[in-house]
Amino acid sequence: MNDLSDIPSVMHEIGRRARAASERLATAPAEAKRRALEAAADRLEAQVAEVQEANERDVAFGTDKGLSPAMLDRLRLDADRIAGIAASLRAVAAQEDPVGATCAEWEQPSGLRIRRVRTPIGVIGVIYESRPNVTADAGALCLKSGNAVILRGGSESFHTSSAIHACLVAGLAEAGLPEDAIQLVPTRDRAAVSEMLKMTEFIDVIVPRGGKGLVGLVQQEARVPVFAHLEGIVHVYLDAAADPVKALDVVLNAKTRRTGICGAAECLLIHRDALDTIGQGVVRALIDAGVEVRGDRDLQAIAGVTAAEADDWGREYLDSIIAARVVDDLDAAIAHVRQYGSGHTDCIVTEDNAAADRFFTELDSAILMRNASTQFADGAEFGMGAEIGIATGKLHARGPVGAEQLTSFKYIVEGDGTVRP
Amino acid sequence: MNDLSDIPSVMHEIGRRARAASERLATAPAEAKRRALEAAADRLEAQVAEVQEANERDVAFGTDKGLSPAMLDRLRLDADRIAGIAASLRAVAAQEDPVGATCAEWEQPSGLRIRRVRTPIGVIGVIYESRPNVTADAGALCLKSGNAVILRGGSESFHTSSAIHACLVAGLAEAGLPEDAIQLVPTRDRAAVSEMLKMTEFIDVIVPRGGKGLVGLVQQEARVPVFAHLEGIVHVYLDAAADPVKALDVVLNAKTRRTGICGAAECLLIHRDALDTIGQGVVRALIDAGVEVRGDRDLQAIAGVTAAEADDWGREYLDSIIAARVVDDLDAAIAHVRQYGSGHTDCIVTEDNAAADRFFTELDSAILMRNASTQFADGAEFGMGAEIGIATGKLHARGPVGAEQLTSFKYIVEGDGTVRP
């Protein structure tokens, strides 16, 4: 490795190695990739103490630096969380290998047999804040999909990420795969991020994971394509035909289970006909659960509801706050989501199939739900083992991005001396 | 429409209308879209004389401007070609509607039922040279996939494209669909192209169709994502286990059927063991067919073969010329294609399944063929009705791009009051 202060040259070398590794990875047997991930999980479980020690150094650094309690919580790893990371590695290992799978197959009148077969994309760059688990999840998903990955974790999680990365590299070595398949940028210098964003020669896709500041910067500056979402302005709409129990369960879980994740509900829309029968009870339950409800004029009649300002619509709180509003009908609910949503996840609570169909058809969020908590907006809950992120763009990847969406495809065409007239 | 000399404002207005139309199109019934395309084909067939008259004006203009014979040929429409364009509209109309189709469906242990459903992307921009048929093909495929489209044809085909566009708009009107769904930029001013390339607010994807100059410019300047290929540096490799008849048929067709299309062979690789048995005959047949064969030293022993220079490898002739070279084995053939290919289409002629498997696995072109002419690299020949272009990028679209690849998807998630633990 070059002198760490010469960032462009350090990053160029990392990029070159990643590209070389990706060429070997593209034809790596599924079994080797599976074995590497299992071995990495074994290693991680054997090194809980070392990882915790590294994590303590990071937490101390983060505390000194004045990180918010929420960020410190995300950074902190106890034995349970480390076990969770290892489980996630095993879950990705157990997934079907996407590379080489035939996703479509047909025959043409000319006699040609055509197959569309999955291939890796190449090299993925992941830029994340201080969530050490991303090191393992992103590394595992990229390996599974035959892509090399360049990981650039937050400076506050540097030691923890390095310790987890060492386990991944040990797994690669044990399975005979190139160690450059999963590289961690070895410097905290922010210039490395700027460098990654323009490395079109070496990086095919960038996935940013973190707050609006980080994602916005990446989306704005990247010359490499980006899979990301800027915000999760998640709506739950209680329809006139909502079931009262489901409404209560779904809204409470969607808002309160964890308030800091992108699938947490940020705005509640209530059909006027359901206001007295269901809406009031749901709003009161939220207040009882400690949630600040910022309501429109109709809802301010309920004790404890504060007045919503204009800028509460379309706002991502990531906190124990929810905006709430009464709408006259399904059309008004759809119009509100279109205007204020971020295309991440939106939910309707209804027993009316026609209403659900319209909600699903007329809205175009990455994830549309019915009678289910929006906190399910997550790759593991979608059955992907883990996720590298959630995308709201419409090209290539959308919604939770797992190994399958980190692949491209090629056409295999077979004839028998077939020529075109 | 605004003053046509104020290009930014003209294009902004076109973009705004396209976005508005795309929102209506996204939920347009499959039957209405089918009907619009059928009606457009009817109209085109009824207006052959008018279209030909418009075309004659363009051909006269192009002749004065000194267009090459190949470009004039592409520009010229006779009654047969117009019938072909109408047939292509009907072929797209007859395709299954991709929008709303469920492409995957599963249930999670949590009880959630998850469906991945196709949706339109939004607005597609198509920038093309003087191939009037692109007006119809691109318009039809975008409509079929529920996308609005902004067409910017070559200035030499302006009248022809306008006449074809009028038929498409008549079809939209007859089916009750927004006429802004298919817009043609109403000016020949090249500034309109530069404007399109940065209209990220209104255009989701740009598809350039034309020569290396146009595509290179678009790829370099576009701030909107691009589906394209720069060159088709197409290789045909005659393996040691090639069948002699198939070898002859495939190579001759791949090189000579039409030399100006991107799927035309540009380089012939011959396994040393097949040189005397098959290679010599194939090379002689090419020469007899009027093809200039630029060979390496081994091949220069054959009468009529000229000497290849270093820059003949990796060159796209789009003409009656082919580079040819003897390789020692499959590894050398694969290495040559990796080094000099453009990832468009490459072909192996062999009866050896293991050799074909290695060719398919170790190469990563958008299209890999066996015992079939590379001139089949075409959306219609792939069963897509038509193609908007061929892409060699690895994100979203790859190979021939038909209606299906002009879609994105969303997740529909249904629960029963399901909450996340």
Of A225, A246, A376, the CB nearest to B417: A246
pLDDT of residue A2: 54
Which phi and psi (to 5°) does residue B162 adopt?
Answer: -65, -40
Q: Per the CB < 8 Å rule, is A419 touching B365?
A: no
pLDDT band, residue B2 (cuts 50/70/90): low
Of A360, A398, A418, the CB nearest to B372: A418
pLDDT of residue A188: 85
Other CB atoms closer than 10 Å to residue B116's CB: what's the count?
A: 17
Chain A residues touching residue B402 (CB < 8 angstroms)? none
CA distance A310 to chain B (A): 24
pLDDT of residue B131: 87
Q: Per the CB < 8 Å rule, is B246 touching A417?
A: yes
pLDDT band, residue A233 (cuts 50/70/90): very high
Of B371, B411, B413, the CB nearest to A415: B371
> Which of B257, B362, B418 has the highest number of chain A CBs within 10 A, making it the mutation to test binding with A?
B418
pLDDT in tens, A49-84: 999 999 999 999 999 999 888 788 889 999 999 999
pLDDT in tens, B101-143: 999 999 999 999 999 999 999 999 999 988 899 999 999 999 9
Residue A287 CB burial class (10 angstroms; 0-12, 13-18, ≥19) = middle
Chain A residues touching residue B368 (CB < 8 angstroms)? 410-413
Q: Per the CB < 8 Å rule, is B204 touching A395?
A: yes
Answer yes or no: are the C-beta atoms of B163 and B84 closer than 8 Å: no
Which long-range contacts does A58-62 make (Cβ < 8 Å, 24+ apart)? A58/A130, A58/A132, A58/A156, A58/A157, A58/A158, A58/A159, A58/A160, A61/A156, A62/A130, A62/A156
Contacts of A381 by beta carbon, 8 Å cutoff, 6+ apart:
A400, B108, B110, B112, B420
Q: Per the CB < 8 Å rule, is B371 touching A411?
A: no
Q: Per the CB < 8 Å rule, is A410 touching B106?
A: no
Q: Per the CB < 8 Å rule, is B408 touching A420?
A: no
Q: Per the CB < 8 Å rule, is B246 touching A420?
A: no
Answer yes or no: are the C-beta atoms of B115 and B411 closer than 8 Å: yes
Q: DSSP characters for B292-338?
A: EEEE-TTGGGSTTPEEPPGGGTT----SSEEEEEEESSHHHHHHHHH
Does B1 have pLDDT greater than 70? Answer: no
Q: b/e string for B120-136 if b means 16 or more Cβ within 10 A?
A: bbbbbbbbbbbbbbbbb
pLDDT in tens, B47-72: 999 999 999 999 999 999 998 888 88
Q: Per the CB < 8 Å rule, is B373 touching A420?
A: yes
| CA dist., res. A153 & res. A159, Å (int) | 10
Q: What is the CA radius of gyration of chain B?
A: 24
pLDDT of residue B300: 97
Does A359 have pLDDT greater than 90? Answer: yes
> Number of CB pairs < 8 Å for A and B?
189
pLDDT in tens, B380-399: 999 998 999 999 999 999 99
pLDDT band, residue B4 (cuts 50/70/90): confident
Of B121, B253, B394, the CB nearest to A122: B394
pLDDT band, residue A4 (cuts 50/70/90): confident
Chain A residues touching residue B221 (CB < 8 angstroms)? none
Of A369, A398, A417, the CB nearest to B408: A398
pLDDT of residue B5: 84
pLDDT of residue B71: 84
pLDDT of residue B188: 85
Chain B residues touching residue A257 (CB < 8 angstroms)? 419-420
Helix or strand holding residue B158 (H, E) = helix B158-174
pLDDT band, residue A48 (cuts 50/70/90): very high
Chain A residues touching residue B361 (CB < 8 angstroms)? 27, 100
Which phi and psi (to 5°) does residue A21 adopt?
Answer: -65, -40
CA distance B65 to chain A (A): 33
Chain B residues touching residue A372 (CB < 8 angstroms)? 112, 413-419
Q: Per the CB < 8 Å rule, is B110 touching A381?
A: yes
Domains assigned to chain B:
7-227+388-412 (3.40.605.10), 234-376 (3.40.309.10)
Q: Per the CB < 8 Å rule, is B410 touching A364?
A: yes
- Is the C-alpha dihedral spanning B282, A108, B37, B10 positive or negative? negative
Q: Per the CB < 8 Å rule, is A361 touching B399?
A: no
pLDDT in tens, A85-142: 999 999 999 999 999 999 999 999 999 999 999 999 999 999 998 889 999 999 999 9
Q: Per the CB < 8 Å rule, is B415 touching A372?
A: yes
Q: DSSP characters for B179-200?
A: GGGEEE-----THHHHHHHT-T
Percent of chain A with pLDDT over 70: 100
CA distance B249 to chain A (A): 6
Does A162 have pLDDT greater than 90? Answer: yes
CA distance A361 to chain B (A): 7
Q: Per the CB < 8 Å rule, is A398 touching B381?
A: no
Chain A residues touching residue B241 (CB < 8 angstroms)? none
- Name beta bridge partners: A178: none
pLDDT band, residue A3 (cuts 50/70/90): confident
Q: b/e string for A364-395 if b means 16 or more Cβ within 10 A?
A: bbbbbbbbbbbbbbbbbbbbbbbbbbbbbbbb
Chain B residues touching residue A371 (CB < 8 angstroms)? 414-418
Task: Provide mean pLDDT across the span B213-233.
Answer: 94
Does B409 have pLDDT greater than 80? Answer: yes
| CA dist., res. A123 & res. A134, Å (int) | 17
A41: which 2 tokens?
């999980």
pLDDT in tens, A369-387: 999 999 999 999 999 989 9
**Residue in B with minimal Cα distance to A361:** B27
CA distance B364 to chain A (A): 7
Q: Per the CB < 8 Å rule, is B420 touching A108?
A: no
For A202, A205, A396, B34, the CA distances from A199, given in Å and listed in that order, are: 6, 10, 20, 44
Chain B residues touching residue A415 (CB < 8 angstroms)? 250, 369-373, 376
The pairing of strands A292-295 and A389-391 is unpaired
**Residue in A with minimal Cα distance to B104:** A103
Q: Per the CB < 8 Å rule, is B368 touching A119?
A: no
Chain A residues touching residue B206 (CB < 8 angstroms)? none
Does A248 have pLDDT greater than 80? Answer: yes
pLDDT in tens, B22-44: 999 999 999 999 999 999 999 99
Chain B residues touching residue A204 (CB < 8 angstroms)? 394-395
Of B114, B371, B394, the CB nearest to A121: B394
Contacts of B345 by beta carbon, 8 Å cutoff, 6+ apart:
B232, B234, B262, B263, B365, B366, B367, B368, B369, B374, B377
CA distance A371 to chain B (A): 5
Contacts of B389 by beta carbon, 8 Å cutoff, 6+ apart:
B207, B208, B209, B227, B228, B229, B400, B401
pLDDT band, residue A201 (cuts 50/70/90): very high
